[in-house]
Each structure stands twice: as structure tokens, then as C-alpha cells.
Amino acid sequence: MRVGSATRARVLGLAVVLFSVAALSGCKKKYTLTVPRTQVQAPEILGRGVPGIRKVIFVHPPEASCPTACSQVIATPEAYNQVIAHAEKAVVQRGYQLISGAIVGRVGGRVMPGNWEPAQMALAVGKESGADAVFEIRSLYVDLAKETYLIERGDETFKKVPDRYAAKAVRDDRKRSMLFEVPYWEVHVEMRMIALDGSVVWSASKSIRTTDVVPDSWRARMKKQGTRAQINRKRKKRDQNYDYFMYFHDVDLQEKQVLFIIDELVKQLPQPY
């Protein structure tokens, strides 16, 4: 049976419509990103201190040394010093007598070498200052960093991968692979008590990051934008189960966490004998 020209035209037109719908559907395809919520870890405590420690030289790094970039919580000397002052107060409230680390640069007419760390200088002048030990904040920072999530050819969900791997995958497969960078902050504090003979008799450390404090694992529907994925900000309530970036940009929340960790670690410090 022959098919008339009108029929062929209708069939052809229908095929064009179906192809267009499929193409448009492909363009609007959403990809799923899930960033797991993590659990806050208990502080890592080593040692129990030694008898006779009551008066300590309090030392700390001259500035925060964030691995990537410091949050404004400690990005300026003024902000950093406020956090250090909070730590000093917490140690005093624990029952210790503090000798300021400012004395370690010069004691008894001796000038300490400029390339020594604060703890080294404090140990060198410990007996002359009347101290029983050195209390050191070894590390304190609020770091701003990111993790890279990637979708490769044929996948519909993102997976976390190293930055270099993601860059190579996108470069080798520009049409299909795409990435999304999830920012996060990490608060880290490490303290230790050092006897005058140089032995570490107590140490404590803890970290908290954005994914520890969010209400749930973050789930978002992403759309393709070149070799990168993005969230449609105008429809963010539909595209994500909550606004993750609200937690990332919350400076007050970051400050609360760093002060919380300081207080928690100092409470683990053995009380003076």
C-alpha cells in the first residue's frame, strides 16, 4: 500500500517533534549531587600530665597558618588575638597560673635565637622564669577549602574525586564530563603540655568542618553549564533539600565552633596538682 504525500508529511513532522522534545529533555536533564553529612569526632587526647605542674608559660604561633585560606574569624591579627585571649582565659579558669609567652624573647640578659619556635624558647628559659612546664597552642586555624565532585560519561550521580583527576577527566572528555566544587570550612585546634625536660606529657586535638554541623546530607539537583555544574539559584528550594551555602558562609557559626573546641580541649587538661 502506497503512503500519500500528506501522510508522509505528517509522519515526518511527528518525527521532528519527537526529536525536538528528546533534545530539549536532554538539555534540561538534572544530575544528582549528594554530599554526606559527617559525624563530629571526639577529641584525641594523649597523656595525663605529671605531678607538680601549676605554673606554665603560655605560648602560641604568632599567626594562624591555614592550609588553604583563613576565614575572617582569624584572618586578621586582631581577630586571631581575640581567639588566643579566649584560650588563655580558659586555661586560667582551669586553675593554672600563666606566665606570658612574651618573656621568652629575653630572660636574664640573654636574647633567644630568632629562628627558634616559641616552645623552644620557652623551654630554654623555663627554670629562670619559675615555670613548671610550657603550655603550647601548637595549631589553631579556620581553613576555607573545597572538594571536587565529578560526573563522567554515562553517569547520573556525582562522585568525590581529587582535583587533578577531575581536571584531567574534563579535559579529556569536554562534552560529557563536568565537575562541581563544594566549599567547606574546617576548624582545627591542637594543644600540648611540655615538661621542662622537653617531653610532651599531655596533648589534645580536634577538628570540626561544615559537613559536621549541617542538618542532613546535602542533596542537590545540578544542571550542566559547560564543563561545570551549577544550581539554579532562582529555584534553589526545589533544587536542594536545604541551602548548604548558608552554613558555609556563616562566620558566627565558625567562630562558635573554634571557641567550643578550645573550651572542650582545655576541660580535658588535667587540673593542677
Tell me the pLDDT tens digit for each residue of 263-273: 999 999 988 87
Helices of type H across 28-113: 77-93
Instruction: Specify the amino acid at residue 184.
Output: Y
> How many whole angstroms separate alpha carbon 154 and alpha carbon 190?
44
> How many whole angstroms separate alpha carbon 60 and alpha carbon 91?
13
> ∠ CA(43), CA(44), CA(49), 5° rounding?
110
Please tell me the predicted confidence (pLDDT) of residue 16. 39
Instruction: Specify the amino acid at residue 127.
Output: K
| Contact call for residues 220 and 44 (beta carbons, < 8 A) | no
Residue 57 β-bridge partners: 99, 134
User: pLDDT: is 178 or 71 the higher one?
Assistant: 71
> How many whole angstroms separate alpha carbon 190 and alpha carbon 204?
6
User: pLDDT: is 144 or 112 the higher one?
Assistant: 144
Cell of 25: 529533555
Residue 272 β-bridge partners: none
Helices of type H across the chain: 5-27, 77-93, 118-124, 126-129, 163-172, 210-213, 236-239, 244-248, 251-267
Return the percentage of the chain with pLDDT > 90, whole number: 44
| Contact call for residues 183 and 209 (beta carbons, < 8 A) | no
Q: Examine the pLDDT at 21 and tell me if it is beyond 60.
A: no
Cell of 80: 586571631
Please tell me the predicted confidence (pLDDT) of residue 169. 78
Tell me the pLDDT tens digit for each residue of 79-119: 999 999 999 999 999 999 888 766 555 544 455 445 556 55
Q: Examine the pLDDT at 138 and tell me if it is beyond 50.
A: yes
> How many whole angstroms separate alpha carbon 228 and alpha carbon 181?
9
Q: How many CB atoms lie within 10 A of CB 36?
A: 11
Per DSSP, the three-state class of 48 is: coil
Q: How many CB atoms lie within 10 A of CB 247?
A: 18
Between the alpha carbon of residue 37 and those of residues 24, 77, 195, 213, 241, the distances in Å are: 34, 32, 40, 8, 13
- Kindly report the pTM of this predicted structure: 0.78
Per DSSP, the three-state class of 34 is: strand
Q: How many CB atoms lie within 10 A of CB 199?
A: 11
